[in-house]
C-alpha cells in the first residue's frame, strides 16, 4: 500500500527486500555509502555506480537501503551489481553466493583496450594493476595537484588543476580542469600501469578532446616516491583545440598540494579550481615565468 506523502500525494513505491539486498551486496563488495565520500571504496568513487546514474546524495542512498529501493531505480541498481531486478526483489536470493565468488575471482579490467591489442592487453593487465598495487599507488598519489604545462603552439605556461580521487575498476580515477578560450574545460582520467611506467588517458567532458600522457611509476623509484613536496613530470599528446585540430605534444609538471588543516580534499580542490580560473596562464612577462618554464621542460633526473 502506498504511504501518503506530506503533500498528500502517494509516495513512490519502494521495495524493502531490494533495499536489504542492496545493503548486503555493498558490504560483500567492500563498498560504503556513508558521509566519508573521500574513501576510495565509497560508492560515489565507483565507476559502475556513476555509470548507472545512481544517487549522489548519501541521504538518498541511505533511504533507498533503509526504506526500500524505489521502483524507478531498481533496474539501475541491478545493472550496477551485475544482477537481475528479480534477484533484488526475491527474498530467497543468496547475495553472498551470487557476489562472493565473483568478488574473490574478479581481476582488474583494462580501462582501455586499444583496437587490435585487446586480448594481449587484457591478459597482461591484471599483473600490472593488482588491487594491492592500486591501493599502494593511491596511498601515494591520492590528493590535489597544481600542474603547469607547455605547448609548442604558445609561449606561455598553462595551469591545470588535477585530483587523484579514488580507485576504480583496475585503475586510479582522477579528474582535472584547465581553461580553454576563457572557458572551463574539465576532464576525467584513468591512471594505470603498463610495464615500468604509469599511463594516464583522459577525456574532456566536451567529449571532443582525448589525450594521453606518461609518468614514471614512483613505486619503482624510491627517490621519486620520497619527494617532499611530492611532484611528477612527463610528456603527453592531445588535440590542439584549434580549427585544424592537429595533435600537439605537451610537457607538464604536477605538484601535490599540502593537505589542508581544516576541510577535506574536496574543499582544497574547489579552492584550487577557483584560483585557476582567476589566473589560467603564466605569461612571459610574469616574475615566475622563467623558473616555471624551466621546471616544466627540463628532464626529470629521478632524484
Q: Which residue has the cell 555493498?
A: 26
What pLDDT does residue 270 have?
Answer: 93
Cell of 5: 506523502
What pLDDT does residue 2 have?
Answer: 44
What pLDDT does residue 1 have?
Answer: 37
Q: Which residue has the cell 578560450?
A: 181
How many whole angstroms separate alpha carbon 170 and alpha carbon 190? 9
Report whether 33 contacts 27 (CB < 8 A). no
End-to-end CA distance of the chain: 68
How many whole angstroms separate alpha carbon 31 and alpha carbon 24? 10
Contacts by residues 54-59 (CB-CB < 8 Å, ≥ 24 positions apart): 54/80, 58/33, 58/34
Whole-angstrom CA distances from 178 to 26, 186, 188, 268 are: 35, 6, 12, 16
Q: Is 272 exposed, middle or buried (0-12, 13-18, 19+ CB in 10 A)?
A: buried
How many whole angstroms separate alpha carbon 149 and alpha carbon 251? 5
Cell of 237: 599528446
**Helix 58-66 × helix 16-28 angle, to 10°:** 120
State yes or no: cis peptide before 217, omega within 30 of 0. no
Q: Which of 246, 237, 225 is closest to 200 using CA atoms?
A: 237
Residues lower than pLDDT 70 in the chain: 1-11, 100-120, 240-243
How many whole angstroms separate alpha carbon 70 and alpha carbon 122? 37
Cα-flanking dihedrals φ and ψ of residue 278, to 5°?
-75, -30
Q: Which of 169, 27, 14 is closest to 95 using CA atoms?
A: 27
pTM: 0.64
**Extended strands (E) in the chain:** 14-15, 69-70, 143-150, 157-167, 172-180, 183-194, 197-204, 210-216, 231-239, 247-256, 281-282
Query: Could you count the other beta carbons within 10 Å of the beta carbon of residue 90?
Result: 13
| Torsion angle defined by CA atoms of residues 214, 216, 218 and 219, in that order, rounded to the nearest 10 degrees | 90
Amino acid at each position: 500500500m502506498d504511504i501518503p506523502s506530506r503533500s498528500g500525494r502517494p509516495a513512490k513505491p519502494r521495495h524493502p527486500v531490494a533495499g536489504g539486498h542492496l545493503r548486503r551486496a555493498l558490504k560483500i563488495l567492500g563498498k560504503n555509502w556513508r558521509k566519508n565520500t573521500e574513501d576510495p571504496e565509497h560508492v560515489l568513487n565507483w565507476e559502475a555506480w556513476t555509470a548507472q546514474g545512481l544517487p549522489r546524495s548519501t541521504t538518498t542512498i541511505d533511504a533507498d537501503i533503509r526504506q526500500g529501493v524505489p521502483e524507478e531505480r531498481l533496474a539501475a541498481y541491478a545493472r550496477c551489481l551485475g544482477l537481475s531486478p528479480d534477484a533484488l526483489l526475491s527474498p530467497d536470493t543468496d547475495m553472498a553466493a551470487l557476489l562472493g565468488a565473483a568478488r574473490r575471482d574478479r581481476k582488474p579490467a583494462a580501462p582501455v583496450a586499444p583496437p587490435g591489442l585487446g586480448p594481449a592487453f587484457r591478459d597482461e593487465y591484471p599483473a600490472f594493476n593488482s588491487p594491492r598495487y592500486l591501493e599502494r599507488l593511491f596511498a601515494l598519489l591520492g590528493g590535489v595537484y597544481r600542474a603547469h604545462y607547455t605547448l609548442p603552439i604558445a609561449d606561455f605556461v598553462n595551469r591545470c588543476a588535477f585530483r587523484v580521487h579514488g580507485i576504480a575498476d583496475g585503475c586510479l580515477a582522477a579528474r582535472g580542469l584547465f581553461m580553454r578560450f576563457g572557458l572551463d574545460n574539465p576532464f576525467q582520467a584513468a591512471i594505470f600501469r603498463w610495464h615500468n611506467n604509469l599511463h594516464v588517458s583522459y577525456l574532456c567532458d566536451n567529449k571532443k578532446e582525448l589525450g594521453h600522457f606518461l609518468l614514471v611509476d614512483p613505486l619503482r623509484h624510491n627517490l621519486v616516491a620520497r619527494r617532499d613536496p611530492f611532484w611528477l613530470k612527463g610528456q603527453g599528446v592531445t588535440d590542439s583545440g584549434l580549427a585544424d585540430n592537429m595533435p600537439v605534444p605537451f610537457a607538464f609538471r604536477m605538484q601535490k598540494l599540502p593537505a589542508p588543516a581544516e576541510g577535506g580534499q574536496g574543499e582544497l580542490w574547489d579552492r584550487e579550481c577557483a584560483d585557476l580560473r582567476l589566473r589560467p596562464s603564466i605569461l612571459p612577462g610574469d616574475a615566475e615565468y622563467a623558473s616555471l618554464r624551466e621546471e616544466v621542460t627540463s628532464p626529470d633526473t629521478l632524484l
